[in-house]
Amino acid sequence: MITKEYYGKTQDGREVHQYTLARGGVTVRALDYGGRITQILVPGRSGPVDIVLGYDDLAGYEADPSHLGAYVGRVANRVENARFTLNGQEYQLAVNNGPNFCHGSWDRQVMPAEIEGDTLLLRWHSPDGEDGFPGTVEAEMRYSLDETGALTLDYRAVTDADTPVNLTNHSYFNLAGAGSGSVLEQFVQLHASKFTPANEVSCPTGEVLPVAGTPMDFTAAKPIGRDINAEYDQLRWAGGFDHNWCIDGAAGTLRPAAWAWCEATGITLTCETTQPGIQFYSGNYLKGQTGKGGALYHPRDAFCLETQHYPCAVNRPEFPSIILHPGEAYHEVTVYRFGRK
């Protein structure tokens, strides 16, 4: 069952609603403003724990510099120098991340929403030229909980012209509870034997390298903080982990991508996806903003597991393509499963 309630009005007068999904002992709340996931309540050893960062009101999300909980599009992650060439034409994008483009403007949109049984459906009509991209894209995002409390994110899109599409969710997880402080003692495992190294402005170089023998090796679960301060250019340039890992197995099939665990609460998080990559981000650029309940969110107070196609793929022909053509259907699925150990 999904319920709907009025949440507030944006500064320019658009009404925003919050939707509550509850099933299998898990409660998820999301806005039709940017598809923001505002709360995920899961059972911990001592009762329910809210494991995602967020704000107490709409004004917080409107001012948010960090994409907390957002549905990200039309292209997730970075495009180097905020430009690319497609079919012989160069496109200039919004410059919003140093010299780069990052994530796009969908997290600021109020999206038409429908409740379809146990599924929340958000639609977005992305017009030709939005954020500088060609073609009109009709996108859908579905949020649903199954009987076990697993959260499925189902992304779909079609276009009327060749255009890049790469969609994800930007929830910030802290399995000890939102606002509880550092996540450096929480464990993460990534089912990825390779990663895409980045340059000084966090854009991939085009290489795909093995993680073995480097601080990027999460093939066995380890505390996030174990290697985060290692003398390693990738970590120094990004201020911690903020990289794309290449998920083992065949892209397009739902398979394990990541696992996380907090000893204090016992909560586990398992991520499965059809996407080829996952951006593991250790919250390096949280800005000390005031979040839910007056908590301050400092760097490394959360982590993200952003399933995706590889960053800057539109400029890296050696990466799996993110170009969507007319007549094709973009469809990717990510599942977050919650448990206790």
What pLDDT is attached to residue 134? Answer: 98
Cα distance between residue 144 and residue 80, in whole Å: 34
Q: Could you please state the CATH topology (level 3) that the domain comprising 2-340 is classified under.
A: Beta-galactosidase; Chain A, domain 5 (2.70.98)
Domain ranges of the chain: 2-340
Please compute the mean of the pLDDT values over residues 20-38 and round it to a whole number.
98
In this structure, what token pair is assigned to residue 114?
A: 């429908």
Please compute the mean of the pLDDT values over residues 307-328 and round it to a whole number.
98
Nearest alpha-carbon partner for 257 in 282, 281, 227, 277: 277
- Per-residue pLDDT tens digits for 217-234: 999 999 999 999 999 999
- Catalogue the active-site residues: 170, 306
How many other CB atoms are there within 10 angstroms of residue 22's CB atom? 15
Cα distance between residue 57 and residue 6, in whole Å: 12
How buried is residue 164: exposed, middle or buried, by Cβ count under 10 Å (0-12/13-18/19+)?
A: buried
Is the confidence at residue 82, as pLDDT, over 90?
Answer: yes
- Per-residue pLDDT tens digits for 41-81: 999 999 999 999 999 999 999 999 999 999 999 999 999 99
262: three-class secondary structure by DSSP: coil
Q: Which pairing describes strands 78-79 and 101-102: parallel, antiparallel, or unpaired? A: antiparallel
In this structure, what token pair is assigned to residue 202?
A: 């966090």
Q: Which pairing describes strands 222-223 and 209-210: parallel, antiparallel, or unpaired? A: unpaired
What pLDDT is attached to residue 1? Answer: 84
What pLDDT is attached to residue 173? Answer: 99
Region class of 105: left (phi > 0), else alpha (psi between -120 and 50), else beta: alpha
Q: pLDDT category, 328, cuts 50, 70, 90?
A: very high
Give the max Cα distance, the chain: 59
Q: pLDDT category, 143, cuts 50, 70, 90?
A: very high
What pLDDT is attached to residue 119? Answer: 98
What pLDDT is attached to residue 55? Answer: 98
Element (H, E) at 154: strand 151-159
Q: Please enumerate in sequence order all residues whose Cβ is within 8 A of that of 87, keeping only pairs 6 or more positions apart, or say none.
A: 162
Cα distance between residue 170 and residue 73, in whole Å: 11
On average, the pLDDT of the chain sits at 98
Q: Which pairing describes strands 26-31 and 37-44: parallel, antiparallel, or unpaired? A: antiparallel
Nearest alpha-carbon partner for 131 in 99, 102, 155, 111: 102
Half-sphere exposure for 130 (CA within 13 Å, toward CB): 21
In this structure, what token pair is assigned to residue 116?
A: 């379809």
What pLDDT is attached to residue 45? Answer: 93
